[in-house]
Structure 1
Amino acid sequence: MTPTTPLTPRQRQLFDALLTQFLKNGFATFTIDSAARELHCSKSTMYSLGATRDEIIRRILVSFFKEVTRRTDAQLTHNTSPKVALERYFTAMSAALEPASLAFLRDLSTVEVAREIYATNTQAATEKITNLIERGVAEGEFRTVNSSFLAHLISAAMQHIQTSAATPEVNAVDAYRELGQLVIYGLYSEVA
């Protein structure tokens, strides 16, 4: 089965159960054997979701981040000002990550397949944010900035949020919300 093959109802049920477990408990210790026992299915049924442990993790995380992207991109389709679009984008990002436990966020930075997926999604998010910033500068809503440098800072901050999720002092949901406020109000031309 390829990652694009539609899931049967039973496979969808297992997939959703695994996603729920991953969000609640993380996935670093995920094994096919333990998942098959916990979800009362055969290992062959579990392998129908992916040929290896990493393929199953990848498929679930890609699906999760596609949903995050769907929710954040929906905020960019409105014909609004760049400032409002950025506010909505960061709010949607924070809301989409609310179900993710500290263990899930920690595993995003410690499991290789997850780091790759997070990095890809961070790059895509940074490009969207940079485009909004450039639009805001062009329309005079934001002060003139070096968008390449700012994109680098935003990307670094997003990577830091991911790697810092291993400490209880950092709440990723609040961190993304605060990053959004820093970006928006650091750019807003009325402040400049």
Structure 2
Amino acid sequence: MPREGFATRRRAALFDALLELILRDGFAQLSIADIAAELRCSKSTLYTLAASKEQLVTATVTHFFRTATEQVEARVESSKTPRERVIAYLVAVGEALSPASEAFMRDLDAFPPTRSLYELNTAAAATRVQKLIADGVAAGDFRNVDAAFAADLAASMMSRIQRREVWAATGLDDAAAYRQLASILTAGIDAG
């Protein structure tokens, strides 16, 4: 049993190290040999994690989004009011994306499996924002706005952020764009 625990910790540590690498440098230009050298492990060790570089990258990006979701939800959970929850959610999403370099975002968008993961997570985030807004309307903290419309508005901007359109138009990185979205959205629906 102790060996299994070590193997699990080792796998998690490798995924964390790989995530740090690809967030910093992107992944399109990296080979399995490059990754192994950077992580100071063998290629065969990497092949125990996934059968190909593409599968390894996809598993690592999945790990990134899973971890980010847990962190975001923890921030929401610690917020007291519906307004604070919406702000915490959007700001935490931006913070989760802040370590992502331009190279990573470009590679994420260019590789269909990881682009699909980002789109799936953006859709889930829009659904979550809709629920948070609906809760705020029900509590009287937000004006009686259509929560689905407000969430769709947020989702549209989230998709533009994901596609790098906001960065191209404004120069705002993803984290800054999410902070701006939180500020503008909550000011627009605030009951006070």
Aligned to 1:173, which of 172, 175, 180? 175
Cα contact 1:108–1:114 (8 A) shared by 2: yes
- 1:134 maps to 134
CA-to-aligned-CA distance 1:85-126 (integer Å, 9 cap, x gap): 112222222222221112112222221111111111111111
**Cα distance in 1 for residues equivalent to 2:104 and 2:42:** 25
Cα contact 1:82–1:135 (8 A) shared by 2: yes
Aligned to 1:185, which of 180, 184, 187? 187
Deviation, structure 1 residue 171: 0.8
**Cα distance in 1 for residues equivalent to 2:130 and 2:103:** 30
> After alignment, is 42-51 or 144-153 more displaced?
144-153
Deviation, structure 1 residue 180: 0.8
Deviation, structure 1 residue 12: 3.7
| Residue correspondence of structure 1 range 31-110 to structure 2 within 5 A | 31-78=31-78, 80-110=80-110
Deviation, structure 1 residue 43: 2.1
Q: Identity, % of aligned pairs?
A: 36
| Residue correspondence of structure 1 range 12-23 to structure 2 within 5 A | 12-23=12-23
**Cα distance in 1 for residues equivalent to 2:21 and 2:178:** 23
Cα contact 1:57–1:113 (8 A) shared by 2: no
* Runs (5+) with no aligned partner, structure 1: none
Deviation, structure 1 residue 10: 4.2
Cα contact 2:87–2:183 (8 A) shared by 1: yes
Cα contact 2:136–2:142 (8 A) shared by 1: yes
Deviation, structure 1 residue 6: 8.5
Deviation, structure 1 residue 16: 2.4
Deviation, structure 1 residue 8: 4.2
TM-score, normalised to structure 2, is: 0.86
* Runs (5+) with no aligned partner, structure 2: none
Cα contact 1:161–1:175 (8 A) shared by 2: yes
More helix by share: 2
Deviation, structure 1 residue 36: 2.5
C-alpha RMSD of matched pairs (Å): 2.3
- 1:113 maps to 113
Q: Structure 1 pair 6/149, CA: closer, same or farther in 2 (3 Å)?
A: farther
**Cα distance in 1 for residues equivalent to 2:12 and 2:137:** 44
TM-score, normalised to structure 1, is: 0.86
What is the number of equivalent residue pairs in this alignment?
A: 186
> After alignment, is 166-175 or 14-23 more displaced?
166-175
